[in-house]
Amino acid sequence: DAMVIQNPRYQVTQFGKPVTLSCSQTLNHNVMYWYQQKSSQAPKLLFHYYDKDFNNEADTPDNFQSRRPNTSFCFLDIRSPGLGDAAMYLCATSRDFSGEETQYFGPGTRLLVL
């Protein structure tokens, strides 16, 4: 059974055209994360939500925003996608934020910017 779901799996957008990626979870986990993964690189954390508290990584561009309207859903908004934003975007969840929590990843959304 799918536990962390991402839609769509593939997204094509145009340079500068806003795009939203979505993530949902059936685990009832408190924490949701968004990662960017470029080809042949490690996942890079963009931000996370601990419940409703939003936490941005220091080097996450302002072009990236996120919303978490409820426990189950989290959205990644890219306001003006550039060619360099083409990547796989991974959503992950963890039960809590204790420092020893397993993160469970969704299947990812591959974003192509034309």
Partner 1 sequence: GENVEQHPSTLSVQEGDSAVIKCTYSDSASNYFPWYKQELGKRPQLIIDIRSNVGEKKDQRIAVTLNKTAKHFSLHITETQPEDSAVYFCAAPKETSGSRLTFGEGTQLTVNP
Our CB check for partner 1 shows the closer of 45 and 73 to be 45
Query: Is residue 45 part of the contact set for partner 1 (CB under 8 A)?
Result: yes
CA dihedral 85, 29, 4, 36 (to 10 degrees): 20
CB of 97 closer than 8 Å to CB of 50: yes
* Cα 114 from Cα 106, distance rounded (Å): 25
Q: Indicate whether 94 belongs to the interface with partner 1 (CB under 8 A).
A: yes
Kindly tell me which residue out of 24, 33, 66, 85 binds partner 1, with binding defined by CB under 8 A: 33
Helix (H), strand (E) at residue 50: strand 44-50
Binding test (CB under 8 A) with partner 1, winner from 40, 62, 70, 83: 40
User: Which residues would be at the binding site for partner 1 (CB under 8 A)?
Assistant: 31, 33, 40-45, 48, 90, 94, 96-108
